[in-house]
Structure formats: structure tokens, C-alpha cells
Amino acid sequence: MTVKNQYMAENLMVPFQKRAVFTFSSTHFINDLVTTGMVPALVVLYKEAMHLSYTQASLIVLISYLTSSVSQPLFGMMADRSPRVWLFSAGVFLSVLGLALTGAAPSYGWLLFFVALSGLGSGAFHPEASRGTHLAAGSQKGLSQAIFQVGGNAGQAFGPLMIPLFLVHTGIQGLLWLIPLAFLSIILTGQILKWLGGRVKESFQKKKELEGENNYTGVALLTLIIVLRSWCQVGVVVFLPFYLKDLTVSQSEMLNFVFVGAGAAGTFIGGVFADRTGMKRLLSLSLFLAAPFALLFPHLSGILSVLDLLLFGFCVLSSFSVTVVLMQAMLPKNIAAASGLAIGFGVGAGGIGSVLMGGLSDIFGVASVFVMLSFLPLLAGILSLFMPNDRLHAAK
């Protein structure tokens, strides 16, 4: 048995820590509710309140996603060098507080600043939370990451619902009511910091015995797959309200909930089956299954379009937790950095893609965006065939 597999075998002997995994998942819900969930959905209200162009509106998403994505791998590399478990608490607090303050932003510049603050908080939160989930997983890596990611995906799903249920009536000033939630997050995260600190110290001692076997070719290929999937996901969430212009804001946001909510269900089911079928196999299967639904959506209407959107979201996001576990497997000495790269870089790429698609919408119309989106899952699926085989079960 190699040193790498010996280390993984020892890690698999750790029992599944249910309380820890569900704490990480619930804080992930809070964090992603206000960042990747609400920020794209708020673009419509920000655009109306500040009289922005499509490009200016999509720049809000870029700032949020880019600050999060750039900082996540950096925070992850810092965490891999020395324990900084307090970032778990501080991160989710800042992500909620930053977005709440956009409700009082006096100008477009201040709006971008508060959005950036929220993005940095999200960047600090994710590496520590994902590493904590990895340490609490025991032999159930796919299931644990699925539970963790379902929390985030559920937050993304419920984020758009905040618009028709609440913010349509209060305006963006209603975001200030999120401030109590920021302080509630400190209580939720604080009760697990002692356990997390102890497990991280144990993992640092074991890591000294691990030789470097990082697979950088696999990392590069997986990153590209994540980027394409993120462009598809964010493009649908941001531009669906503009594409379905005959619907009200509330109706289009409900469709966003269908898409992301189905994705949350897919994330959980994908994680459960990935532990049995293999990570690479499930990754390829999810993307190829999503491709026909993506291609059909621009040509459907009525109940068929809703059903197609549900199946599209379920399939394309069922590999969400799988890509995190695969990235951690390919970077075994840099678990926190791997988590930041798998989650953060994809989020940032989605923000960059939203600005690109915003520019295309200003020039060619929103319909052109959905034509482009329809081919992304197919391209990502083809690339997934060239991924190295995962060795997650080799140490069992």
C-alpha cells in the first residue's frame, strides 16, 4: 500500500460525525442563501433601483463571485499551512453582513463594495467548512460532501424565493433585516469550533507522513469542467428572469427555485450513489444526462419548460459534491486549497461568465445566451471522459 493510500485508509477509520456534518451543511445554507442564492436574483431589483444597464447589473454578480473565487484558494492555502478554524465563523458572518448592508448602499460604488465584502466572507468560509466536512466524513466522503453541498444548494434555491416573498414588497432596503441572521451564524458556528480545531491539528500531524502525489493534470481538467458547469448554472439563474420577459419577477424567480431546488436534490442523490459507483462515472453521467434538457429548453414553453428545467437542474448539479471530493483526492496534501479551488474557482468563473453573457445580451439579445448555455453541459461531459480514474476506494 502506498503512503497516500495508507493515509487515506487511516482517514477512513474515523467515524462519521453526524453533528459536525450537519452543522457545516446548515451554515453552508446560510452563507449561500445570501451570496450565490440572493445576489444573482437581486440583479433585477438592483437594476431597477439604480437604473443600471445589463452589463452594470451583471458586474454585481462578477464582483460577488470573483472576490469569493479568488480568495477561496488563497484562504485554503493559508489554512493548509497553519490552522485558522476561526475563519469558519468569521467568514459566514461577513458574507451575511456584507449583503445586508447593500440595502443601505447610497451609490453603485458602495453597492459593489458591500457585495465584495460579502464575497470575501464567503471565500473565507468555504475552505474551512469543506475541510471540516472532509475530516468528519469517515468512510462516507461522497455522502458527507453531498450533505454539505445540499446545504449550499438549498440556500441557492431559497435565495431567489426571498424576492417574491419579501423583497418585492420592501425593496432592497429590506435586506437590512438580514443583520440578525449574521449574528445568529456566530452562535451556530461557535459551538463546533473546539471540535474542528482538534481534528485539524490531528490531520496536520498525519499530513507530515504523506508524500506529495498531487495530480495537477487532473486538477486542470476538472477545473475546466467546473467552469463550464458554473457558466451554465449561473447563466440560467441570472438571465432566466430576463429571458422569460412575459412572466412577472415573482413567477420567473419561482422557476429559478425549481431549477436550483432540483439541483439540490440532485447533489444529495449524486453524492449517495458516487460512494458506490465511483466519482468519475457519476460526473460524466450527470453531464451527459443534462445535455439534452439544456438543448431542449429554449424550444419549449408552458408546463413542458418547467418539467425540462427541473430535470435539467437535477442532472447538471448532481455532480456538485462529486467534483469537490475528486479535487480533494487529486490534492491530498492540500485539502483546504482543493476545496477552495473546486468551489471557489467555479463560482468566480460563473461571475465572469455572467458578465460575458450580459455583454452578449446587450448586443444580440438575451435569447442568444440560452443558445450558448445549451451546449455547455455536453462539452463538459466530453471533457470528463478524459479525467483520471478516481482512487477513492483503493484504500478500503
CATH topology of domain 3-384: Growth Hormone; Chain: A; (1.20.1250)
Best CA proximity match to 94, nearest among 122, 70, 56:
122
The answer to whether the pTM exceeds 0.75 is no
Is 106 exposed, middle or buried (CB count within 10 Å of its CB: 0-12, 13-18, 19+)?
exposed
Digit-by-digit pLDDT tens for the chain (396 residues) are 343 444 444 444 456 577 888 889 999 999 988 887 788 778 878 888 887 777 788 788 878 877 887 788 788 777 777 777 888 899 999 999 999 999 888 888 899 999 999 999 998 888 888 888 888 876 677 778 888 888 887 887 788 777 777 776 777 888 888 999 999 999 988 888 888 877 777 776 665 555 457 788 888 899 889 988 988 887 787 777 777 766 676 777 678 778 878 888 888 888 888 777 788 889 999 999 998 988 888 777 778 888 988 999 999 888 888 888 888 788 877 777 787 778 777 666 766 777 777 777 777 777 777 777 788 899 999 999 998 876 544 433
